[in-house]
C-alpha cells in the first residue's frame, strides 16, 4: 500500500514538474526530492563506493544540467539515474556492471510488481482486481440496453428525438471533459507512474545476487595434476608467444609508418582530413578489441600461474605499449585536424575515446601482472567510462567550440554551417557583425580553396539574428521550473 502511494505521489510531482515544460531546474528539484525521501524513509543506501559514486554522479549531472543545459548533461544524468536505481536495488553490487544489469531487470520487473500491487489494492474489503472482474457481469445487460435503444429509436421518432437531446446534454456537460484532457499531461503522468514504479518497486533479484557474490577480482589457481593439462598449458604458451611476436611486428610496422609520416613529416596539401583521422581511430578500436580478447584468452585461469610464461607476458606488455603509441598517433592526427579545421563535437569525442583507451590498456596490464579476472577488467573499465562521461560534463562545449573557432578564424577553417546550428546558449558568441564576418570570409578565401559551397556570411548573419529573435520569445515563455543558468546568461548578454 505504501509503495503504491509513493508511486502515485511521485507521478503527481513528476507531472507538476515536467508537463508541457522543457528541462531545467525541475531536473534538480526531482533529484533532491527523491533522494531526500529515500533518506527519510530509510531506503537510501550509501555504505560502499558504488552507491556513493552513483548518487554523486546523479547529483553532479543534475546540477550541470541546470548550469550548462546541454544534451550531454541530460543524457549523462539519465545514465547515472539508471545506474543509481540499480545500485540501490542491488546494494552490494560489485561494480557498475552488476548495478546496471540489476537496473535493466528491475526496469521490467518493477512494472509487473506495480500492476500486481495495484490489482491487490482493497476497496471496502475487496481487491481492486475483484471489482474489475465483477464488471464482466454487467457487459451483457449494457449490450442489451444499447440494442433496445437502437431498436426503439428506429421505431419511434419521439423517442429518437429524446435520445438525441440526452446525447447533446451528455456531450455538453460530461463528454467535453474527456475531450479536453491534455494528452501531454496524461502521458506525462503515465510516464511518472512508470518511473515511480521503477524507483520504489525495485527489488533484489536472487539470481543476480548469487551471480554478484560469485564474481571476484582476483584469479584463483585451479590445481589439476594432469600431465596432459600441463602439456596443454605449454603448447598454449608457445602459440601465444608466436601470435604476439607476429602481432607486434605488424603493429610495429604501422607505428613506424605513423611516426615517420604523422609525427614528423605530415604536410597539409589542402585536402579534407576526415579519412586521415577516422581511419586511424577505427584501426585503434579494432586493435584494442583484438588486444583485449587475445589477452583474455591467453591469460585465463591456470595460464596466469604457469611458471614459464614470462616471455608471453613481456610480449603482451610490448603489445600494450605499441597500442599506446598508436593512440598517440591518433591524437596527433586529431590535433592536425583541429589545427586546420577547428573544433567539433566528434573531434572532442576522439580525445575522450583515446583517454578511455589508455585506461583500458592500463587495466589490461594490471590484469596480467596482478592476475585479475575478466570481471575486474569490466568493472574498472566501466568505472573509468562513467568517470570520463562525468568529467566531460564540466565544460560547456557549445560555448567552448564557438569561442575557440572564431578566435582561430584567421588560421583555421571556420565552418559557418556547423556553428549556426550550435545551441541557443552559445548565441552571444555566435552573434557577429556583418563587417566582422566579411573580414573572416576574406581571410578564409585566401587560405582555403574548397569546391564545396559553404554558408555565405550574409546568410549566417541573417540566420543567427532570426535565431536570437526566436530565443527571446522562447526564453520569456519559460517558467521558473524551466530555468537554467546557461540560457539565462545568454539572454542577458544579448539584451
Residues 435-454 pLDDT 10s: 899 898 888 877 777 656 77
Over its C-alpha atoms, the chain yields an Rg (Å, rounded) of 31
* Residue 128 pLDDT class (50, 70, 90 cuts): low
More confident residue, 159 or 336: 336
d(CA 495, CA 493): 6
More confident residue, 124 or 146: 146
Are 70 and 51 in contact by the 8 Å Cβ rule? The answer is no
Range 360-374 average pLDDT: 87
pLDDT at 422 over 70: yes
pLDDT at 221: 63
74-100 CB burial, b ≥16 within 10 A, e <16? bebbebbbbbbbbbbbbbbbbbbbbbb
pLDDT at 220 over 70: no
pLDDT at 375: 86
Query: What's the chain's average pLDDT?
Result: 83
- The percent of residues above 70 in pLDDT, for the chain, comes to 83
pLDDT at 129: 55
In tens, the pLDDT along 461-495 reads 999 999 999 999 999 999 999 999 999 999 999 98
pLDDT at 9 over 80: yes
Bridge partners of residue 126, in order along the sequence: 123
pLDDT at 70: 95
In tens, the pLDDT along 89-108 reads 888 888 899 999 999 998 88
pLDDT at 81: 95
pLDDT at 25 over 70: yes
pLDDT at 378 over 80: yes
Half-sphere exposure of 26 (CA within 13 A, CB side): 17
In tens, the pLDDT along 287-336 reads 777 777 787 787 766 555 566 778 888 998 998 899 899 889 888 888 88
Range 344-355 average pLDDT: 90
pLDDT at 132 over 60: no
pLDDT at 231: 45
Are 372 and 406 in contact by the 8 Å Cβ rule? The answer is no
pTM: 0.83
* Residue 267 pLDDT class (50, 70, 90 cuts): confident
pLDDT at 472: 95
pLDDT at 455: 83
Are 327 and 356 in contact by the 8 Å Cβ rule? The answer is no
Selection from 343, 392, 355 nearest residue 73 by Cα: 392
165, 170, 171, 173 alpha-carbon torsion, rounded to 10°: 120
* Residue 32 pLDDT class (50, 70, 90 cuts): very high
Selection from 344, 346, 338, 494 nearest residue 417 by Cα: 344
Range 229-237 average pLDDT: 64
* Residue 212 pLDDT class (50, 70, 90 cuts): confident
* Residue 181 pLDDT class (50, 70, 90 cuts): low
Amino acid at each position: 500500500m505504501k509503495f503504491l502511494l509513493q508511486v502515485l505521489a511521485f507521478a503527481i510531482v513528476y507531472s507538476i514538474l515536467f508537463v508541457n515544460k522543457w528541462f531545467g531546474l525541475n531536473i534538480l528539484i526531482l533529484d533532491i526530492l527523491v533522494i531526500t525521501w529515500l533518506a527519510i524513509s530509510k531506503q537510501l543506501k550509501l555504505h560502499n563506493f558504488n552507491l556513493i559514486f552513483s548518487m554523486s554522479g546523479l547529483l553532479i549531472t543534475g546540477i550541470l544540467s541546470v548550469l550548462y543545459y546541454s544534451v550531454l548533461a541530460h543524457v549523462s544524468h539519465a545514465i547515472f539515474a539508471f545506474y543509481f536505481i540499480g545500485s540501490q536495488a542491488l546494494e552490494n553490487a560489485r561494480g557498475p556492471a552488476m548495478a546496471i544489469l540489476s537496473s535493466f531487470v528491475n526496469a521490467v520487473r518493477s512494472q509487473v510488481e506495480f500492476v500486481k500491487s495495484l490489482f491487490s489494492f482493497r476497496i471496502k474489503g475487496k481487491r481492486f482486481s475483484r471489482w474489475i472482474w465483477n464488471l464482466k457481469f454487467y457487459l451483457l445487460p449494457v449490450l442489451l440496453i444499447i440494442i433496445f435503444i437502437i431498436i426503439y429509436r428506429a421505431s419511434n421518432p419521439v423517442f429518437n428525438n429524446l435520445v438525441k437531446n440526452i446525447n447533446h446534454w451528455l456531450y455538453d456537460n460530461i463528454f467535453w471533459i474527456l475531450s479536453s484532457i491534455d494528452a501531454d499531461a496524461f502521458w506525462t503522468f503515465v510516464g511518472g507512474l512508470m518511473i515511480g514504479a521503477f524507483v520504489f518497486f525495485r527489488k533484489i533479484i536472487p539470481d543476480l545476487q548469487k551471480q554478484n557474490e560469485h564474481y571476484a577480482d582476483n584469479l584463483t589457481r585451479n590445481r589439476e595434476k594432469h600431465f596432459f593439462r600441463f602439456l596443454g598449458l605449454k603448447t598454449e604458451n608457445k602459440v601465444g608467444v608466436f601470435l604476439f611476436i607476429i602481432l607486434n611486428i605488424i603493429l610495429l610496422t604501422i607505428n613506424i609508418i605513423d611516426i615517420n609520416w604523422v609525427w614528423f613529416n605530415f604536410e597539409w596539401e589542402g585536402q579534407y582530413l576526415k579519412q586521415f583521422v577516422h581511419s586511424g581511430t577505427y584501426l585503434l578500436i579494432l586493435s584494442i578489441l583484438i588486444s583485449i580478447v587475445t589477452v583474455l584468452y591467453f591469460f585465463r585461469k591456470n595460464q596466469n600461474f604457469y611458471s614459464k610464461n614470462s616471455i608471453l607476458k613481456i610480449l603482451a606488455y610490448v603489445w600494450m605499449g605499441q597500442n599506446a603509441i598508436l593512440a598517440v598517433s591518433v591524437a596527433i592526427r586529431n590535433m592536425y585536424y583541429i589545427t586546420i579545421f577547428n573544433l567539433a563535437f566528434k573531434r572532442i569525442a576522439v580525445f575522450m575515446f583515446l583517454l578511455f583507451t589508455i585506461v583500458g590498456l592500463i587495466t589490461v596490464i594490471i590484469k596480467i601482472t596482478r592476475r585479475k579476472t575478466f570481471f575486474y577488467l569490466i568493472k574498472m573499465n566501466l568505472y573509468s567510462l562513467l568517470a570520463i562521461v562525468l568529467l566531460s560534463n564540466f565544460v560547456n562545449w557549445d560555448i567552448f567550440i564557438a569561442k575557440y573557432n572564431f578566435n582561430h578564424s584567421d588560421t583555421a577553417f571556420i565552418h559557418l554551417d556547423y556553428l549556426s546550428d550550435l545551441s541557443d546558449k552559445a548565441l552571444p558568441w555566435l552573434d557577429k557583425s556583418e563587417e566582422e564576418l566579411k573580414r573572416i570570409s576574406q581571410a578564409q578565401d585566401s587560405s582555403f580553396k574548397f569546391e564545396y559551397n559553404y554558408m555565405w556570411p550574409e546568410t549566417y548573419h541573417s540566420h543567427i539574428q532570426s535565431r536570437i529573435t526566436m530565443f527571446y520569445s522562447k526564453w520569456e515563455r519559460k517558467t521558473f521550473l524551466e530555468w537554467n543558468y546557461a540560457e539565462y546568461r545568454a539572454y542577458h548578454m544579448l539584451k
